[in-house]
Amino acid sequence: MEGILARYLSIFLPFLATVVLAHLVLRSSGSWQTERIGLASPALLRRILLATASAIGIILAVDLVTGGDLVLRPSSPRSEILIALVLVTLVAARSILRIAERLMARGQSSAG
């Protein structure tokens, strides 16, 4: 069981650490552009972490269904690249959707 937990943590913890550190860099930058579109908001970090948790859940479910071939006993080194790609895609898509919704709402409120 310890080997399984270590394997999962070795894959997902670096990604989570990167997300949190990137958010901290944005918050400490003081750039008015990041404040204006809400990139430095704690709410965005919360949504990103929720999206990441969802992606991790999907990956773990697929790993359980495949008997561990994706994460625990990957058949090729491309498995880790696939995991990273799924995580980045899901988190980025959710974040971009939220930003687009905000921009569209601002555009409609300034037009009306």
Least confident of 28-37, 69-78, 91-100: 69-78
Residue closest to 58 by CA, chosen among 26, 33, 91, 31? 91
Tokens of 46: 């919360």
* Tokens 């080194």, located at residue: 77
Residue 68 carries which DSSP code?
S
112 against 63, higher pLDDT:
63
Query: Which residues, in sequence order, are CB contacts of 75 under 8 Å at separation 6+?
Result: 69
Tokens of 99: 């930003």
Mean pLDDT (whole number) for 68-80: 72
CA dist 105 and 21 (Å) reads 29
Say what the pTM is: 0.59
